[in-house]
Structure 1
């Protein structure tokens, strides 16, 4: 029985703490690593899900109910304009900051 931390050094010097080394194949080692990674990803997902659900409201929809979906563009399309000259010929697309009156 180990009662003090200094006992670990003595047992280590006597090689009584060493676990027997069993060689495992690379595929088995990767399988074990894959399981650890999956468990870690699952824990992170659960943690993030819990945080998200704290700030969201439960929503229920009825069949046939009109639902609006918001689409997010990667760049602001509202700030780009198609310009035409007085004859109706297209000049090009310009950003709002580049257009002057």
Structure 2
């Protein structure tokens, strides 16, 4: 709000897991034997820790960031269905914490 008078837009983008090398240093990574699985035609596909369907591409994340800027949005959560966790956290914060701990192997 402080810089709004100057025409500067500040938007917060909260992406889910993004398929980048940053995940390689995560504390919740599975052991090397479980880290990748053979995909179709014998190709290796990376299994991202804490996800069931993988992760969004860096390009998809970047497009969301650019869209946030272009549309001057204040808060963007990607993917869209992560909004459910925000609503749940308002009413059941301990449940959301427990689910997050379970997802990342801390329970």
State the TM-score bracket (shorter-chain normalisation). under 0.3
Q: Whose helix fraction is larger, Structure 1's or Structure 2's?
A: 2
Q: Which has the higher contact order (CA 8 A, sep 6+)?
A: 2
Give the greater-gyration-radius structure (CA): 1
For normalisation by structure 2, the TM-score amounts to: 0.22
> What TM-score, normalized by structure 1, do the two folds share?
0.23
